[in-house]
Chain A
Amino acid sequence: EAGVVQSPRYKIIEKKQPVAFWCNPISGHNTLYWYRQNLGQGPELLIRYENEEAVDDSQLPKDRFSAERLKGVDSTLKIQPAELGDSAVYLCASSPGGAGINEQFFGPGTRLTVL
């Protein structure tokens, strides 16, 4: 079974430029998460989707970040414009959803460098 797929794996841009990250979750997983991991830190949630609905976006900097999950499958996270402080690894995770303790499965991440 394929895991969570993310692209690109690496991205280098200049500040003020836009950037987008793509995530394909594990087939059948209803819940999708975007986390940001700064160097030397643990991941922090940006947004969580249940199917197409964003149910927790309280930590998403909405002035420059946006996300969508069309048809409840793939998701895109966008930054416009990027700032130097956005340099980090952006992780996508998915879980089956439903009741009980659901394991979150993580993708390999996209490493963003803003110059």
Chain B
Amino acid sequence: GDSVTQMEGPVTLSEEAFLTINCTYTATGYPSLFWYVQYPGEGLQLLLKATKADDKGSNKGFEATYRKETTSFHLEKGSVQVSDSAVYFCALTPFGGNEKLTFGTGTRLTIIP
């Protein structure tokens, strides 16, 4: 079945550091890929998405590129802030539309000033 493997955490970085959170997937066909973020005390929010190979999703300074050849969707940010501290989830839907999301286990990110 479909699966998502995420870089294990927790990850602790200093403010203004470069961030990479690795995500690889296994799926049949051409899935759509997502990054969701969960801030402390809040619900899951969509951070960015990509729906086909070589697409780049971006939002709030975060980027991720859909790499079909390596089945990856790594999350990057050039300069993190304390406010980026949260749990980040990589996810996919197999065919897009209204299908269920399959999530990774999440990566807890803590940014220290």
Residues in A lying within 8 Å of B, measured CB to CB = 3-4, 31, 33, 35, 40-45, 48, 50, 56, 91, 93, 95, 97, 99-109
Q: Are B101 and A45 in contact (CB under 8 A)?
A: yes
Q: Are A56 and B105 in contact (CB under 8 A)?
A: no
Residues in B lying within 8 Å of A, measured CB to CB = 4, 32, 36, 42-46, 49, 51, 89, 91, 93, 96-98, 100-101, 103-106
Contacts A40-B105, A41-B106, A42-B106: A99 and B97 contacting too (C-beta < 8 A)?
yes
How far is the CB of A31 from the nearest CB of chain B, in Å? 5
How far is the CB of B40 from the nearest CB of chain A, in Å? 12
Contacts A101-B49, A101-B51, A103-B46: A43 and B98 contacting too (C-beta < 8 A)?
no
Q: Are B106 and A97 in contact (CB under 8 A)?
A: no
Q: Residues of A contacting B97 with CB < 8 Å? A: 99-102
Q: Are A106 and B103 in contact (CB under 8 A)?
A: no
Q: Residues of B contacting A108 with CB < 8 Å? A: 42-43
Q: Residues of B contacting A106 with CB < 8 Å? A: 36, 43-45
How far is the CB of B70 from the nearest CB of chain A, in Å? 21
Q: Are A95 and B101 in contact (CB under 8 A)?
A: no
Q: How far is the CA of A49 from the CA of B34 in the complex (A)?
A: 21
Closest to A33 in B: B100
Contacts A42-B4, A43-B44, A107-B43: A56 and B51 contacting too (C-beta < 8 A)?
no
Q: Residues of A contacting B106 with CB < 8 Å? A: 40-42
Q: Are B98 and A91 in contact (CB under 8 A)?
A: no
Q: Residues of A contacting B101 with CB < 8 Å? A: 35, 43, 45, 104
- 5 smallest CB-CB distances across A and B, nearest first, come from A42-B103, A45-B100, A106-B44, A106-B43, A108-B43
Q: Residues of A contacting B89 with CB < 8 Å? A: 42-43
Closest to A107 in B: B43
How far is the CB of B106 from the nearest CB of chain A, in Å? 6
Q: How far is the CA of A43 from the CA of B36 in the complex (A)?
A: 11
Q: Residues of A contacting B105 with CB < 8 Å? A: 40-42
Q: Residues of B contacting A41 with CB < 8 Å? A: 105-106
Q: Residues of A contacting B36 with CB < 8 Å? A: 106
Q: How far is the CA of A84 from the CA of B93 in the complex (A)?
A: 30
